[in-house]
Chains A and B, each alone.
Chain A
Amino acid sequence: MKPNFRIVRSPAPGWFSALIPLLAIVVTFMITSVFIIIAGANPFEAYYYFLISPLTSKVGILEVLVKSTPLLLTGAAVTIAFASGYWNIGAEGQLYAGAVAAAWLGTALIGVPQPVAVLIMLIGGFIAGMLWALVPAILKVKLAVDEVVTTLLMNYVALFFVSALLNGPWRDPVSNWPQSPTILANTMMPKLLPPARLHFGFIIGILAVATVWFILSRTGLGLRMRSVGMGQEAARFMGVKVGRTMFITALISGGIAGLAGVTEVAGIHFHLIDAISPGYGYSGIIAATLGNLNPIGAGAASLFLGLISTGSQAVSRSLGVPSFLGDVVQSTLLLVTLAMFLLRNYTLRRVE
C-alpha cells in the first residue's frame, strides 16, 4: 500500500521553521515579479540587480552594511518593544529626535576629543529618543491610552518639528538650503574602512542588537518584559509590575531608535535634513517581524533589508524600474512572512 501523508496541527520540525524565512523570500519574489513585469522589465534580470549585483563588489557589500546600519538600530528598538507587548510604532519619530540632538551636539562640542565627542553624541541621541517616546509611554501607563495611535502621531509631529528647525533657526546660512550647519569633524563617526562610507555606527548597530538580546534573554528585566509580552494578566498574576515594565521598555526602545538618528547624522549626512530617514522606523517593524521578535533574527533581517534597499537603487539605475519597488518588496515580504510563520504549527504525518 502506498504511504499516506496528512497535514496535522502539531509543531513543525525545527529545520523547517528555520527555513520559513527563506521560503517567504521565494514566495515574495514570485508575487512581486508581477509588478516588475508591469513596469516593463524582466524579473530575473531585476532580481539579479536586486540581490546579486550589490554583493559582487567590495564597494557594494560595504554599501549594504551602510544601509543596514539604521535598520539594525530601529529593528532592535522595535523588537524589544514588541517582544514586551508595547506597540511602539514611533521609531521613525524617535529617530528624528535623535538626529536633532546629534545635529545640535555636533555643532556644540567644540574642541572635545573625538572618542569623547562621539560618546556624548550617542548618549544625547539616546536621551532625545527616550524623551520623544516619553509622552506616549506616560499616556499608556497612566491613562491607558493606546500607544499605537500616539506613537504614530508623534512621528508626524517630529517631522514638522525638524522642518520648523530647518526652515527657521537652523537653516544653513551659507547655502540657504533647509539643512542644519555641517557638524564638527571631531563629532563625526570614524570610518571603518576609508574611503568607503561604512562607519562606526555599524558597530553601534551590532552592539545594540547584542544588548537587546542580552536584556531579553539573560536578565530579570528581560524575563519580566517577555512575560508582559506574552500576556499582561498572567504577568500581573506572577507579580510583575506591568505598567512599570512597559514604561521602561518604551524608553529603552525610544532610546535605541534615537541612536539611529545619530548614526545617520554623524556617519552619513553630517547635517540634519528633513529626509534623513526614508522610513527606517517603519522598516524596523519589518525587520523585527521577519526576525520573529528575536533580536538576532531581526539583526539578520536588517542586513537583508539593507541588501534590498541597495538593490532597489541598482534596479532603478539599470532597468528604469521605479526604486519604490524596494519598498513594495519589503512590505510584501512582511505580509508573506507573517502568513508563512503559521506553517510552524503544522507538520506532515504518515498515516497507516
Chain B
Amino acid sequence: MELLFFIENLLAATLRVATPLMFGTMGELFAERSGVLNLGIEGTMFMGAFVGFTVASMTGSLWLGVLAALLAGALAGLLMGFFAVKLGVNQHVSGLGITLLLTSLSLFLFRVIFGENQLPPKIEPFPQLTILQGVPFLGDILSQYALTYIAILLVPVVWYVLYRTNFGLDMRAVGENPEAADAAGVNVYRTRYIALAIGGALMSVGGAFLTLAQLGSFTFGIIAGRGWVCIALIIFANWQPLRVLWGALLFGGFFALQLRLQTTGLKLPYEVFLALPYIVTIIALAITGRKATGPAAVLKPYKRE
C-alpha cells in the first residue's frame, strides 16, 4: 500500500515536473527544425515566469498571465530571429546574449514593479483539475493543472504541424537545406521568423507554468537551468516530437525522484540530489553521442545571393 502510494505520488509529480520541460523542448524543436539554435531559451523561460506572474497579479486573471507570457515569448523569438535570421550573426553568442538580457531585464523590472520585499509577493495559482476524481490510483495521478494537459496535447499537435502541414514541410526544408527550399519558392526568412516566434511563445509558457501553476510566486532561481536541460533533451529526443514526450517524462521522473529521495533519510547532502538531474542529463548526452544528428542547417545563417 505504501509502495503504491509512493508510485502514485511519483507519477503525479513526474507529469508536473515534465510540463515546463515539454513546453521548453517543443519550443526549441520549432527553432532548431527551422535551422536556428535558440540559446535564448533559458532567458525566455525566465521572462515567461516573470511576465506571467506580473500580469496575473496585476489583472487578477491567471489566463491573461498565460496570454501575456505567450506574446512576450513570441517577441523574444522574433528578437532571436533578428540576430540569427536577419543579421546572421553567431547563434551561440546572440542566443546567450538574449538569455542574459531577458534574465537581467526581468529581475530589473521585478524590482521596479514590486520593490524590495521581505516576503515575495504571491498569487493564488491555478487549481488542479480533478478529472477522474474518486477513481483509485489514476484519479490522483491525473489530478493535474490544465497547462499540463495542454503540454501533453502539444505532442500530437506539434507532430501534425511538423509532418502534415505545408508550414511544417517548409520549416523542415529550411532547417535542412535552405538553398533548395528557397529555390522551390519557400520564403526562408519568414519561415524561420514564424518558427522562432512560435518556439519562443512555447518556451515562455513553460516558464509561466512555474509561477502561475506550480509555485504561485516568482523567485530568482525559478528556472535554474531548465532551459539548458531542454537543449539537451532535444538532442536526446533526436528532434522528434514524440520522443520529446518520453524524454521529458524520463527527466521529469528524475527530478521528481530526487525530491523524494531527499526525504527518505539517505545520509547524503541534499545538494547531491539537486545536482543529479544535471548529471543525468550529461550522461544521457554522452550515451546519445554521435548518434545525434540535428537539422543540417542549424548554426548556419542563410544569405540570399
Contacts and interface: CB of A to CB of B under 8 A. Distances in A.
Contacts of A145: 285-286, 288-289
B147 interface: no
22 contacts: A35-B105, A135-B282, A146-B235, A148-B92, A149-B228, A153-B228, A156-B275, A157-B278, A157-B279, A160-B272, A161-B275, A285-B96, A324-B107, A325-B108, A327-B100, A328-B101, A328-B104, A331-B97, A331-B105, A334-B97, A338-B83, A338-B94
B292 to A, nearest CB: 8
B112 A38 contact: yes
User: Which 4 residue pairs spanning A and B have beta carbons closest together?
Assistant: A327-B104, A164-B271, A322-B111, A331-B100
A335 B83 contact: yes
Contact of B83 (A135, A139, A285, A339): A339
B109 A38 contact: yes
Contact of A139 (B87, B105, B228, B285): B285
Contacts of A342: 87, 89
Interface in B68-124: 83, 87, 89-90, 92-94, 96-98, 100-101, 103-105, 107-109, 111-112
Given A149-B232, A328-B101, A338-B83, A139 B282 contact: yes
Interface residues of B, number: 42
Contacts of A161: 271, 275
- DSSP majority for the B interface? helix
B125 interface: no
B152 to A, nearest CB: 25
Contacts of B100: 282, 286, 327, 330-331, 334
Contact of A152 (B228, B272, B290): B228
B168 to A, nearest CB: 25
B274 interface: yes
Contact of B225 (A146, A156, A339): A156
B289 A143 contact: yes
B94 A160 contact: no
Contacts of B274: 160
A144 B290 contact: yes
Contacts of B203: none
B98 A335 contact: yes
Contacts of B271: 160-161, 163-164, 167
A65 interface: no
Contacts of B225: 152-153, 155-156
A39 interface: yes
Interface residues of A, number: 46
A289 B228 contact: no
Given A149-B281, A161-B275, A335-B97, 19 more contacts: A39-B112, A139-B286, A149-B285, A152-B228, A153-B228, A160-B274, A282-B100, A285-B93, A322-B108, A324-B104, A324-B107, A324-B108, A327-B100, A327-B103, A335-B94, A338-B89, A338-B97, A341-B89, A342-B89
A244 to B, nearest CB: 18
B142 interface: no
A87 interface: yes
Contacts of A331: 97, 100-101, 104-105
B205 interface: no
Contact of B111 (A155, A156, A324): A324
A89 interface: yes
Contacts of A156: 224-225, 228, 275, 278
Given A143-B290, A328-B101, A330-B100, A157 B275 contact: yes
A249 interface: no
B108 A328 contact: yes
A258 to B, nearest CB: 19
B285 A164 contact: no
Interface in A11-45: 35, 38-40
A204 B281 CA distance: 35
Nearest to B82: A339
Contact of A338 (B93, B231, B269, B282): B93
Contact of B93 (A35, A139, A150, A289): A289
Contacts of A325: 108
A297 B60 CA distance: 49
